[in-house]
C-alpha cells in the first residue's frame, strides 16, 4: 500500500472531548500488535521520534523536566517540558503552548491534546494522522521517510483537514 493511501485509510478514532475543561483533542489508533516497549521508544526517544513525529526533542522524554525540540534541525527550538512519566505507559509534556499526553495500552496509542486554540483541532488532527501513518508503517517494519510540514499536503493533509473539520463541527 502506498503511504498516501495508508494515511488516508488509517483507522484513527478522533474527537474533541468538550466534557472536560479545557476541551481536548483525543486521537487513538491500534498499533497492529507492535510490542508496547517498541511503541514507547517511538513516543519518547529522539532518534525514533525523528523518524515520524514533528516534535523531535533534544533528550529522551522519559524523565520530568525541561527540553527543547525542533521539527527540523535548522528550525528554531521550542519548549518541551515533560510534566509526568509512567515508564512504558504514559508521558505528558508541553509542546509549545499545547499539552500532549501519550498513553500506551497493549497495542493501542491514545493521544490527548489540550490545544491553546481548540478551533485548530482539525488541522492538528490532520497533521497527526499523516505522522501516525508513517509510524504505522515503521511499526510494521516498512521503511518510510518522515512526512512533516508542507510535505504533508502531498499525502492527504488537506482532505484530512476537511474531513476533521466536518467531524468536529458543533451541532
Closest by CA position to 11, among listed 136, 97, 112: 136
∠ CA 11-39-50, rounded to 5°: 95
Quote the mean pLDDT of the chain. 94
Q: Which has more confidence, 55 or 92?
A: 92
pLDDT at 7: 96
Pick the CATH number of 3-168 from 3.30.530.20, 3.30.465.10, 3.40.1440.10, 3.40.50.300: 3.30.530.20
CA 34 to chain centre: 17
Report how far residue 118's alpha carbon sits from residue 109's, in angstroms, rounded to the nearest whole number. 21
Report how far residue 52's alpha carbon sits from residue 56's, in angstroms, rounded to the nearest whole number. 9
Report how far residue 53's alpha carbon sits from residue 131's, in angstroms, rounded to the nearest whole number. 6
Q: How confident is the model at residue 171 (pLDDT cuts 50, 70, 90)?
A: low
The yes-or-no verdict on residue 18 having pLDDT over 90 is: no
**Residue whose C-alpha cell reads 472531548 in the numeric block:** 17
pLDDT at 33: 87
Mean pLDDT for 126-148 is 96
Q: How confident is the model at residue 26 (pLDDT cuts 50, 70, 90)?
A: very high
The yes-or-no verdict on residue 159 having pLDDT over 70 is: yes
Amino acid at each position: 500500500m502506498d503511504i498516501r493511501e495508508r494515511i488516508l485509510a488509517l483507522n484513527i478514532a478522533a474527537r474533541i472531548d468538550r466534557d472536560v475543561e479545557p476541551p481536548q483533542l483525543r486521537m487513538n489508533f491500534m498499533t497492529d500488535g507492535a510490542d508496547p516497549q517498541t511503541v514507547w521508544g517511538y513516543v519518547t526517544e529522539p532518534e525514533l521520534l525523528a523518524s515520524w513525529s514533528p516534535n523531535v526533542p533534544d533528550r529522551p522524554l522519559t524523565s520530568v523536566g525541561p527540553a527543547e525540540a525542533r521539527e527540523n534541525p535548522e528550525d528554531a527550538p521550542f519548549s518541551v517540558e515533560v510534566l509526568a512519566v509512567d515508564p512504558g505507559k504514559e508521558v505528558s509534556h508541553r509542546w509549545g503552548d499545547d499539552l500532549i499526553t501519550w498513553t500506551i495500552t497493549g497495542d493501542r496509542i491514545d493521544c490527548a491534546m489540550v490545544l491553546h486554540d481548540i478551533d485548530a483541532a482539525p488541522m492538528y488532527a490532520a497533521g497527526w494522522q499523516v505522522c501516525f501513518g508513517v509510524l504505522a508503517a515503521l511499526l510494521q517494519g516498512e521503511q518510510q521517510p518522515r512526512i512533516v510540514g508542507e510535505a504533508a499536503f502531498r499525502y492527504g493533509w488537506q482532505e484530512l483537514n476537511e474531513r476533521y473539520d466536518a467531524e468536529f463541527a458543533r451541532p
